Amino acid sequence: MKTRGMAVAVFLLSAILCLLPGGKALAEKPIVIGCPLSTAFVYGWDAERGIRLAVEEINAKGGVNVGGVQRPFKIAVIDTRDLEPGVPVSEALLAVEKLILEKKADFIMGGPIRSEAGLAAMDLLSKYKKVSILTTGVLTPKYHARVAKAYDKYKYCFRITGEAKWMVGGEIIPCLLEIGKKYNLNRLFIMIQDVAHARAGGGIIAKVMKKKGWTVIGQPEIYPTGSTDFSMGLLKARREKAQIILIWMDMPETSILLKQWYDMKIPALPFGSIISAAEQPGFWKATKGKGEYCLANVVNAGNAPSNATPWTMKFVNAYKKRWKIEPEAYGSSTSYMAPYVLKDAIERAGSLDSDAVVAALEKTDMMGVYGRIRFDPKSHQVIPSLDPKEGAVGTIFQWQAGKRVVVFPKSIAVGEIKLPPWMK
Amino acid sequence: MEILIYGLINSVNLALIALGFALVYGISRLPNFAHGALYVVSGFITWTFLRRLELNYLLSIVLALVIVGIVGALIYRFVLIRVRGMAISEIIASYAIGLAILEGFRWCGFKGLTYTLPVFVPGSVLIFGIPVDYHRMLVVGIGAAIVAFLWFFTHYTRIGLALRGMAQDERAALMLGIDSDLMAVVAMAFGSALAGLAAVLLLPLGNIVVEAGYNILVLAISVCIVGGLGSWMGAVLAAFLIGFAQILTVVYLGAHYQMVVALLAIILTLIVRPSGLFGRQKELEERV
């Protein structure tokens, strides 16, 4: 009698689960998304949160329609540790291969994050014919240039986040020129991290700004990953009467740099082309406000609150509700959008076949968190723009009175750039 | 002038980082490769007392130093004592403990920018036109006081003299009734507390991050090798050599060569004078 009662209860429970939204999808074989991410760093954990949030939302609404069958997404994350100092690229490659072979990932999403690791992983993706959508890191323009150059080999690689070439030419330099014009500043000092994207980015900015008539002080100061003392560089900036310090570093120690900048009262505006510490909402508390006036580029809209598109604040609020904090750094909004873009492509392709999904991804055209999302069909790079109606829009904000105030581009700006009082 | 000021600050920082490692090796001939982990542990314990339990800052520091000292003593008493005298096993065991501690913190979610300690005195002052913040000046003063204290402690206290006796000749010390295991426990506790002291002095200038544990270990080892393993006065002198060399490298060659200085110093010392500046373990071979 007791056994029969149990059986009835199990049957009823199963029936209820099947009737719940997404219940049918959850019963089907999941589509595995493998995420190789450096999870101890903000770019890693924030990307994971973005992907998880989107996957939870998609699964709650019934999952993905694959040729008439509703299937859920399932995430498998492996820590690549590629953002950690001294960890070789081979670690990230092992993680990618493990996701493909052991976790049976149908798609790769997220990283690897470090440019060097991302470039090296392209051959693995090509070998296993796995469609990958990069959502964070890997800013090097070489990534999409390689796809364009050897399309048949690298056609499985897509990048839904910004890249250094556009970031520099389309956003950072126009923003610097705007600040220069507004406050009559033209002396630039560059401090960068010893990694491929920062060296390339810092070098290009130096060259272009010289051509624009600015004085670029010396060569870019290069710091190894994990540096904890920037005093000599800052003193040089002060001695050489720099007016803007351009920082391109993705290590958390950048908070030390900004604390030193404040303590020394260096009369130059810190401009983070990439500055991981200052991107995070916790930065204000961590530095006790010493990072005020620091500008930070978070690559795409939605990584800091703004009204770029109707979906931007919807995402920010959903993220805040789920993770009890605002999106923390670049790679959050792009990581959130990637499962939606993949879902859309799979549904149009009607299968999980890599070549069919590649063809469908190339035809992607949807309005997302950071503007209109389309891929260049030859290079598979998301098409950028300063107007969210036309393409993926970027974001540069400034810390003002404890808030991340978006100041560039004008189309989504909510405030004006300010100088610290000791510069006036 | 900025080379002199920041060279001095950098040297004192390095000396603080290395003193605990040098002391433990000097007395018990034990290379404590968990040194970096104990540095990070001190930071997290202080942070927990200060931010979570909202204790007084000074009390949090004192409690953290006591706890880290006890942790160091326990590591010796329950693990390292079993492999004492087997150099490779000592390195493997202590490094494994350090690795487990650091990766344990990472696994428990201690990552990101959240973990910071306040500076003791906010603000900065111009010295010969060079801006220096009060906290760094205080660290230099405390560093000098610690060196003076260590000298006094090892020359004028019973425990200090016993530790020196152990360091000079363990068998002779045993014949005089000095308990070598007890002294090694004391040395490990003291060395761990010194790692903790370096942490609470230096971490307010940055963040408490797991990765710092590995960097601190590399710096401590390089200073101790150059100074001569086992000689804490040698470690202080080596800290000044490496500290100024790093600053000169940053100024004249570039900041990205800064870490190379410490590693190059290890290689050069091992080639030219394996005992280091004040070490004695290879003295005979070097003379011959």
- Whether pLDDT at B73 is above 70: yes
> How high is the pLDDT of residue A18?
47
Minimum CA–CA partner of A193 in chain B = B256
| Contact yes or no for B210/A253 (Cβ under 8 A) | no
Å from A202 to nearest chain B CA?
15
Å from A250 to nearest chain B CA?
13
How far apart CA B198 and CA B196 sit, in angstroms, is 5
Q: Is the pTM of this model over 0.95?
A: no
Minimum CA–CA partner of B116 in chain A = A286
Reported as a pLDDT band with limits 50, 70 and 90, residue B287 is very low
Å from B269 to nearest chain A CA?
23
Residues of B in contact with A228 (CB under 8 A): 205-206, 212, 215
* B131 touching chain A per CB within 8 A: yes
The answer as to whether A11 is a domain residue is no
Instruction: Specify which residues A133 forms β-bridges with.
Output: A109, A158
Are A195 and A247 contained in the same domain? yes
Instruction: Specify which residues A192 forms β-bridges with.
Output: A222, A248
CA distances from B60 to A299, B145, B179, B279 (A): 40, 21, 32, 36
The answer as to whether A101 is a domain residue is yes
Are A49 and A119 contained in the same domain? yes
Q: Which residues contact A2 (CB under 8 A, 6 or more apart)?
A: none
Residue A49 backbone dihedrals phi, psi, to 5 degrees: -60, -45
Are A67 and A103 contained in the same domain? yes
Q: Report cis status (omega within 30 of 0) of the bond before A72.
A: no
The answer as to whether A3 is a domain residue is no
Nearest Cα residue to A342 out of A30, A22, A31, A23: A31
Q: Which of residues 21-50 of B touch A (CB under 8 A)?
A: none
Q: Which residues contact B198 (CB under 8 A, 6 or more apart)?
A: B16, B17, B19, B20, B39, B216
> How high is the pLDDT of residue A5?
63
Reported as a pLDDT band with limits 50, 70 and 90, residue B201 is very high
Are A263 and A321 contained in the same domain? no
State the pairing for strand pair A403-408/A295-297: unpaired
Are A157 and A181 contained in the same domain? no
Nearest to B205 among A42, A239, A256 (CB): A256
Are A414 and A279 contained in the same domain? yes
Please list the pLDDT of chain A residue by residue as tens digits (424 residues).
Answer: 455 665 566 555 555 544 454 455 556 899 999 999 998 888 899 999 999 999 999 999 999 999 899 999 999 999 998 887 778 888 899 999 999 999 999 999 998 998 889 999 999 999 999 999 999 988 888 999 999 999 999 999 999 998 888 989 899 999 999 999 999 999 999 999 988 778 888 888 999 999 999 999 988 888 887 787 888 889 999 999 999 999 999 887 888 899 889 988 899 999 998 888 888 888 888 888 888 999 999 889 999 888 899 999 999 999 999 999 999 888 999 999 999 999 999 999 999 999 999 999 999 999 999 999 999 999 999 999 999 999 999 999 999 999 999 999 988 998 999 999 988 7
For A177, the domain range is: 165-298+394-423
Are A32 and A137 contained in the same domain? yes
The two three-digit tokens of residue A325, written as one number: 């904090």
| Contact yes or no for A97/A124 (Cβ under 8 A) | yes
Selected residue of A228, A251, A255, A266 to mutate for chain B interface (largest B Cβ count, 10 A): A228
- Whether pLDDT at B286 is above 50: no
Nearest Cα residue to A381 out of A313, A279, A300: A300
The answer as to whether A330 is a domain residue is yes
Contact yes or no for A227 and B258 at CB 8 A: yes
Residues of A in contact with B1 (CB under 8 A): none
Nearest to B258 among A224, A239, A282 (CB): A224
Which amino acid is it at B91? I
| Contact yes or no for A413/A386 (Cβ under 8 A) | no
Nearest to A194 among B130, B250, B256 (CB): B256
Å from A42 to nearest chain B CA?
7
Arithmetic mean of pLDDT, B64-69: 95
The answer as to whether A352 is a domain residue is yes
Task: Provide the 10 A C-beta neighbour count for residue A129.
Answer: 13
Are A106 and A252 contained in the same domain? no
The answer as to whether A279 is a domain residue is yes
- Whether pLDDT at B68 is above 50: yes
* B130 touching chain A per CB within 8 A: yes
Are A105 and A222 contained in the same domain? no
Selected residue of B16, B211, B217 to mutate for chain A interface (largest A Cβ count, 10 A): B211
The answer as to whether A136 is a domain residue is yes
Tell me the CATH number at A270. Answer: 3.40.50.2300
Number of domains in chain A: 2
For chains A and B, count residue pairs whose Cβ atoms are closer than 8 Å.
96
Å from A233 to nearest chain B CA?
8
How far apart CA A392 and CA A378 sit, in angstroms, is 17
Reported as a pLDDT band with limits 50, 70 and 90, residue B29 is confident
Q: Which of residues 237-266 of B touch A (CB under 8 A)?
A: 247, 250-251, 254-256, 258-259
DSSP string computed for B140-180: HHHHHHHHHHHHHHHHHSHHHHHHHHHHH-HHHHHHTT--H
Nearest Cα residue to A131 out of A362, A290, A388, A286: A362
State the pairing for strand pair A295-297/A215-216: unpaired
Are A244 and A267 contained in the same domain? yes
Are A287 and A371 contained in the same domain? no
- Whether pLDDT at B235 is above 90: no
* B125 touching chain A per CB within 8 A: no
Residues of B in contact with A85 (CB under 8 A): 211, 214-215
Are A324 and A354 contained in the same domain? yes
The answer as to whether A94 is a domain residue is yes
